[in-house]
Structure formats: C-alpha cells, structure tokens
Amino acid sequence: MRLDTTFSVVIPCYNYAHVVERAIQSVFDQGGDAFDVTAINDGSTDASGEVLERCARARGPSLRVIHQENRGLSAVRNRGTRETQGDYLIFLDADDELMPAAFSQFRRAIDATDRPAFVIGGHLAIHPKGGRKLHPQPALPELREARFLRYIRNETKIMHGAAAMRRDAAVAIPFDESLRTGEDFLVFAILLARYDCATIDVPVLCHHRHPGSLRHDVKAQEGSRERLPELLFDQDRLPPSFARHRSEFAARCALNLCRTYARAGRDRSALGAYWRALAHDPRVALRPMALREATRALRRWILS
C-alpha cells in the first residue's frame, strides 16, 4: 500500500461547538502525517470559534481554522477545496467522525483501482436513542450510466466523510452555492456519471443522526428539489445520452418533496407535489409506496 497519497479533510462547522472536537480528533487518530485538516467556522453563534481555536493550539500546523460570515455548506466546501492541497478531499461533517483506519481503507481502494476520482465507503449510523445500523457500500456497476441510475433511484447511498474526491474532480465539479440542500446529491451524481469510481465495503465513517437535519427542513427542500433536475441535466454536466432519464429523476424529486410536505402536515402541498410527479413520469408516481403516501395525504386533507 502506497503511503504517499495525501488527504485534506475539510470540516464545515456551524454551531457545533459541543461535538466538533470529536470530528477533529477522529482525523488525528488516523496516525501518520500525510493529511491536513481545515475547519471552517461558518458564522457560528455558539462557542464553535473558541473551540476550534483551542483545538488548533493543541494540534499544531496540521489543523488550520478559518472564520467566515455564514454562507452555507456549499460555500464552505468550495472554500475548503481552494484552501487545501491534498491529493484527495474528504468533507467531514462536524457532528460525524472517521472510523479508525479510514485513511488506510481509502488508500487501499485508491491503489487497487489506479487512483480513481471518487472513492465511496460504507458507514455506521448511530441514532439519537443509541441504535446502530451498519450500511456497507456494495460494489458499483462498471457502466457509468448504470452507476448513475442506481444513485438517482436511491439504491446507492453516499455520505460525506465516507467519500474521498480526487482534487482535480473536486475542482471541476464545485458545489452549487445557490442550493441550501441537495448540493451534495448534485456533485455525487455527476462524479458517478463522468469519472472512474471505487468502493470500500467496510464502514469508514461513524454518522450521528439527529432530527435537526436539513432533510427535514421544508423551506430548504422546496427551494432545491424542484431545481435539481434542471441543474443536473444541464448539457455541460452529464453525457447527452443521459437526458432520457430526466423525467424519471424529476418525478423522484417531486415525490421526495411530497414526503417532506406530508411529514410537515402540509397535505395539500404534498398532493400538489404528487401530481407533478405523476405528470413527469407515471411509472414512478404510480408505484405502490408513492401511491399509498399520496392516498394518505388525500384522506387527511379531505377529513381536515
């Protein structure tokens, strides 16, 4: 296993003073010196800035701290790309942590597949009440279009921190700073469609789940989900032959928004999103699970 591959770990931090040191320590626990850490305080209003500065004093030049006004995750990750030099970039959320020997696992995959642009590992999810669930990362199909389809159909799951991007690929595909959520989906889908990829079947990340995730933020979701098909299927982002999958993806985005509205008790909005899914691709919208969710929303709306 080659040891000369270097990693730059970028940790966005917004109001995570209580856990960010855990994320930082998980990187230093990897051992060796072929890495650097850049923690970016994105305008936190808690003690994150002070915690990060204390961590930097304790850990020396391998940890750099940047403070900026709040600009969101995409802007933080793009700045992290610009401000670092490692061969591969890992974007580690401040409330997560790398598993022991994660760098070794990434290096094995990189060496075995001739330095792929994108390496994806499994993760261990820890739920708020203490439950744990292992999510291995199965091997990807060889054909890029098949990999892409598995991802937009939610059959392949990718977590920040469990993925490493080769620097040239990260530079070529920046995160869209106009999106509040879904920006990572956009980048990952394009990487799968355009570059060579590798997988690691064991977990390299410990992901701590919590209810404050943007996945449950209705405003963020409705501002992004309906834009994703247009942004993803731009002619410069995907091969032209992929255009035939746009309707399916648009339907899936509308169904995701339908579920978000339903969880928030906005059944009329959920029904509107469902009708849009039906218009985009009836094959997707009429699947039993989607149809059941729409039926429940309709029943609740009628009875309200």
What's the CA gap between 17 and 301, in Å, rounded?
Answer: 41
Q: Assess if residue 30 is contained within a domain.
A: yes
CATH number at residue 101: 3.90.550.10
Q: Assess if residue 228 is contained within a domain.
A: yes
Three-state secondary structure call for residue 158: coil
Do 118 and 132 lie in a common domain? Answer: yes
Domain boundary among 175, 193, 210: 210
What's the CA gap between 97 and 101, in Å, rounded?
Answer: 12
Do 165 and 53 lie in a common domain? Answer: yes
What's the CA gap between 10 and 77, in Å, rounded?
Answer: 7
Do 85 and 35 lie in a common domain? Answer: yes
Do 108 and 138 lie in a common domain? Answer: yes
Paired tokens of 192: 């799968």
Do 189 and 222 lie in a common domain? Answer: no
- What was the pLDDT predicted at 215? 52
Q: Assess if residue 114 is contained within a domain.
A: yes
Paired tokens of 45: 């209003």
160 — phi, psi (to 5°)? -60, 140
Do 105 and 74 lie in a common domain? Answer: yes
Q: Assess if residue 1 is contained within a domain.
A: no
Rounded (5°) CA angle 169-203-170: 10
Paired tokens of 149: 């389809």
- Whether 120 and 43 have beta carbons less than 8 Å apart is answered as no
- What was the pLDDT predicted at 128? 87
Q: Assess if residue 271 is contained within a domain.
A: yes
What's the CA gap between 208 and 95, in Å, rounded?
Answer: 7
- Whether 206 and 124 have beta carbons less than 8 Å apart is answered as yes
- What was the pLDDT predicted at 220? 74
Do 182 and 220 lie in a common domain? Answer: no
CA atoms within 13 A on the CB side of 166: 20
Three-state secondary structure call for residue 58: helix
Do 173 and 238 lie in a common domain? Answer: no
Do 94 and 150 lie in a common domain? Answer: yes
Which tens digits make up the pLDDT trace of 184-224? 999 999 999 999 999 999 999 999 987 655 555 787 777 78
Do 132 and 40 lie in a common domain? Answer: yes
Which long-range CB contacts under 8 A does 294-302 form with residues at least 24 apart? 294/258, 294/270, 296/262, 297/258, 297/261, 297/262, 297/267, 297/270, 297/271, 298/267, 298/271, 300/267, 301/267, 301/268, 301/271
Low-confidence ranges of the chain (pLDDT < 70): 1-3, 211-216
What's the CA gap between 97 and 58, in Å, rounded?
Answer: 19
- What was the pLDDT predicted at 222? 78
* Element housing 125 (H / E): strand 118-126
Q: Assess if residue 2 is contained within a domain.
A: no
Strands 118-126 and 197-208: parallel
Sign (positive or negative) of CA dihedral 9, 87, 124, 29: negative
- In the chain, the amino acid numbered 9 is V
Q: Assess if residue 194 is contained within a domain.
A: yes
Range of the domain at 285: 216-303
Domain boundary among 190, 210, 230: 210
Domain boundary among 194, 210, 226: 210
Do 47 and 172 lie in a common domain? Answer: yes
CATH number at residue 244: 1.25.40
Q: What's the domain count of the chain?
A: 2
Do 66 and 164 lie in a common domain? Answer: yes
What's the CA gap between 16 and 7, in Å, rounded?
Answer: 23
- What was the pLDDT predicted at 221? 79
- What was the pLDDT predicted at 269? 93
